[in-house]
Amino acid sequence: MAKITTSAQSSGAPFHVACIMDGNGRWAQMRGRPRLVGHHMGAKRVREIVQRCPDAGVTHLTLFAFSTENWKRTQTEVAGLMRLFRRYIINEAKGLKNAGVRVRFIGDRIRLEDSLVKMMDDLEMLTADNSSVHLTIALNYGGRDEVTRAARRLAYEIEQGELTHKDVDAETLARFLDTRFLPDPDLVIRTSGEARISNFLLWQSAYAEYEFIDTLWPDFSADEFQRIVESYGSRERRFGGVTA
C-alpha cells in the first residue's frame, strides 16, 4: 500500500464512516462461484477504501467483518472467512503500518481461535503509533452483545465498590463499550440494497446518517465511497435540536 497523504483532511475534525459490507455471497453466486470468492473480492475493496480515506476526508473507518450471528453460516464459509482474516493480516500488516493506518479490532475475542487473536493483538501493537487513518475491524461483533458485556463489566465494578449505581450514565456506560477509543460514527453505509442495521454499532449510531446503496460490496469502488462521503457534507445534522 502506498504512503497515505492527508491533503484532503481540511478541517482536521474526526470524521467517522462505518460500513456494513454486504453482498459478497450474492456477488459470487451471480457468477456461479463459491461464496468465498465474493469475500475475497470484498477484501480487495477493503484495501482500496482504506487507501482512499484521507482523500475522502475520513479519519476513522469501521468495518463490519464478522457478526455474532455469522457463526450460523456453514462450517466451510466460517472457516474460509477466518482464513481470509488471517491472510488479510499477514498480507496487509506491513503496508498498513507504512501507510500510517492504526488498526484496532472490536467484538468479543473469546470465541476466536487463540492464534488469530494473537495476530490481531500483534497488528494492533504494530500500528499503535499511527494516526493518519483509524481502521477498526468488527470481528465477532454484535451491538447487543457489546452493550451486554459492557453492562456486565459495569455491574462488576459496582459489586467491587469501584463505582455506585449513581455513577451509571451514558458517558460511563460508553467507557465500557468496545468502541471506547472511537468517536461515534457520522455516517453508516450499507451495501447490497438491504435497509437494515443488523446489530451494528447500535449505541454509537444514535445520531448517525445512514446511506443504503444497491451496489454489492465487491463492486463498491473507492470512487463511489468518496462520492457518498462528499455528499454527506451537504446534509444537515441537528442531533435532536433545531436549526438556528
Task: Give the catalytic positions in this structure.
Answer: 22, 70
Max Cα–Cα distance, the chain, nearest Å? 59
Looking at the Cβ atoms of 39 and 204, the one nearer to ligand FPP is 39
Side-chain-side CA neighbours of 64 within 13 Å: the count stands at: 27
Binding residue for ligand FPP, selected from 26, 86, 109, 149, defined by CB under 6 A? 26
Binding residue for ligand FPP, selected from 84, 174, 202, 222, defined by CB under 6 A? 84
Binding mask 37-76 for ligand FPP (x = CB under 6 A): --x--xx--x----------------x-xx---x------
Cα distances from 167 to residues 49, 56, 85, 172, 216, in angstroms, run 40, 39, 38, 7, 44
Q: Does 88 bind ligand FPP (CB under 6 A)?
A: yes
CB 93 within 8 A of CB 125: no
The piece of 24-32, 149-157, 158-166, 226-234 that touches ligand FPP (CB under 6 A) is 24-32
Count of CB atoms within 10 A of residue 132's CB? 16
Looking at the Cβ atoms of 87 and 235, the one nearer to ligand FPP is 87
The grid coordinates listed for 13 are 475534525
What is the total count of residues that contact ligand FPP (CB under 6 A)?
20
Report the run of H or E that residue 94 belongs to, with start and end: helix 75-99
Binding residue for ligand FPP, selected from 133, 137, 188, 189, defined by CB under 6 A? 137
Q: Does 225 bind ligand FPP (CB under 6 A)?
A: no
Binding residue for ligand FPP, selected from 23, 54, 100, 107, defined by CB under 6 A? 23
The burial of 50, by beta-carbon neighbours within 10 Å (0-12 exposed, 13-18 middle, 19 or more buried), is given as: buried
State the Cα torsion 207-218-89-229 to the nearest 10°.
Answer: -30
Which residues between 160 and 189 bind ligand FPP (CB under 6 A)?
none
Binding footprint of ligand FPP on the chain (CB under 6 A): 21-26, 39, 42-43, 46, 63, 65-66, 70, 84-85, 88, 137, 192, 217
